[in-house]
Amino acid sequence: SFELTQPPSLSVSPGQTASLTCSGDVLPQQYVSWYQQRPGQAPVLVMYKDTERPAGIPARFSASSSGTTVTLTISGVQAEDEADYFCQSANSVGTYYVFGSGTKVTVL
Amino acid sequence: EVQLVESGGGLVQPGGSLRLSCAASGFSVSSNYMTWVRQAPGKGLEWVSIIYSGGQWHYADSVKDRFSISRDNSHNTLYLEMNTLRGEDTGVYYCARGGPGDWYFDLWGRGTLVTVSA
C-alpha cells in the first residue's frame, strides 16, 4: 500500500494563486488525478494524468509534477473555487487506489 | 445524457446487509471500468472497489470478504452488495466511471447515503 499527503487547508484571496500539493513515494512512477468537491456535491475531476485538464474545466486550473510531489495550481482564484480538493493515484497494475486526505480551499 | 444515478442506501443495523445500485445512461458499464468510492460524514474520499471491463474486480482491505461488486450489462447497472455491515461503513457511497487510460474517474454519481446504526 501507499499514501498520498495533502495539507489540510489553504486560504487565498480572490484573484490570487492557490498552490495545492500532493506528495507520495509512488508519484514518480504513477499518475495523479485531482477532484474538486464543493459542499454537498459529488466530486468532479479537474485534472488527470498529472497535468491533463478535462473538457469544461477552466484554464485557470493547471498542474505540474516534480519527483514525489504534484502541484495543482489555481490562478486567479474565484469564489466558486472554494471547495475540498482530493488527489488520487493507483498502483501500477490498477488493483489498489488511494485518495489523499484532501485540502480545503477557502476563498477569503 | 451521460450520467450515473445511485440508489439503495438507507438505515441498516450492524451486521446487516444492503445492496447499492448505480444506473448508468449514455454509455455502457460493460465497456468501462467502474468503481465505488465512499465518504464518511465530514471525512475524505475512500476507494472501496473496482470492476474492469474484463470482469476482474478488486477491493480495499477494509471491505474485502464483506463487499461484492458486480454489474448487469442488460440493465446497464453497477451493484455493490454489502454484508456484515459495521458502523465505520456509514457514509455516502458514490459510483464513478473510469476514464480512458490510466486509473482515474471522469464521471461521478451524486451518491447514496448508508447509515449503519442500531
Of B45, B107, B110, the CB nearest to A99: B45
Identify all chain B residues contacting A101, using CB atoms and an 8 Å cutoff: 44
pLDDT at B45: 98
**b/e sequence A36-73, b meaning 16+ C-beta within 10 Å:** bbeeeebbbbbbbbbeebeeebeeebebebeeeebbbe
Query: Is B94 near chain A, with CB under 8 Å?
Result: yes
pLDDT band, residue A5 (cuts 50/70/90): very high
pLDDT at A1: 83
Of A31, A37, A100, the CB nearest to B102: A31
| Nearest chain B Cα distance for residue A15, angstroms | 27
Bridge-based pairing state of the strands B34-39 and B91-98 = antiparallel
CB pairs under 8 A between A and B: 71
Measured distance CA(B26)–CA(B91) in Å, rounded: 27
Residue A72 corresponds to which cell in the numbers above? 495543482
pLDDT band, residue B102 (cuts 50/70/90): confident
pLDDT in tens, B16-66: 999 999 999 999 999 999 999 999 999 999 999 999 999 999 999 999 999
Query: Is A57 near chain B, with CB under 8 Å?
Result: no
pLDDT in tens, A66-102: 999 999 999 999 999 999 999 999 998 999 999 999 9
State the residue for C-alpha cell 446497464.
Answer: B76
Identify residue B7 by its one-letter amino acid code: S
pLDDT band, residue B87 (cuts 50/70/90): very high
